[in-house]
């Protein structure tokens, strides 16, 4: 199992940030907003923010489709 501290940090930030948000509000979050919120992350790690938002949107789509992909 590979661990990426940056990916974990982005995921934790997003999870905390969307707690209590509507699904529409959660999927409106952009990678750029996540990148801006966590200062000090080197640019070569920005793909982790994009991956985090892609995963969030995929889960939201599954939720909107009644648990089906």
Q: 30-40, pLDDT tens digit by residue?
A: 999 999 999 99
What is residue 1's three-state secondary structure?
Answer: coil
What are φ and ψ of residue 41, in 5° steps?
-80, 130
Task: Find the mean pLDDT for residues 58-66.
Answer: 90
Contact 56, 14 (CB under 8 A): yes
Beta-carbon neighbour count of residue 49 at 10 Å?
27
- Find the helix or strand (DSSP H, E) in which 30 lies: none
Asked whether the predicted pLDDT for residue 2 surpasses 70, the reply is no
What is the pTM for the complete model shown? Answer: 0.86
Asked whether the predicted pLDDT for residue 3 surpasses 90, the reply is no
């Amino acid at each position: 199992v590979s661990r990426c501290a940056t990916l974990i940090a982005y995921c934790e930030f997003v999870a905390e940030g969307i707690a209590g948000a509507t699904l529409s509000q959660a999927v409106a979050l952009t990678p750029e907003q996540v990148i801006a919120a966590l200062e000090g992350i080197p640019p070569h790690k920005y793909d982790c923010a994009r991956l985090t938002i892609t995963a969030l949107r995929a889960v939201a789509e599954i939720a909107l489709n009644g648990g089906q992909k």
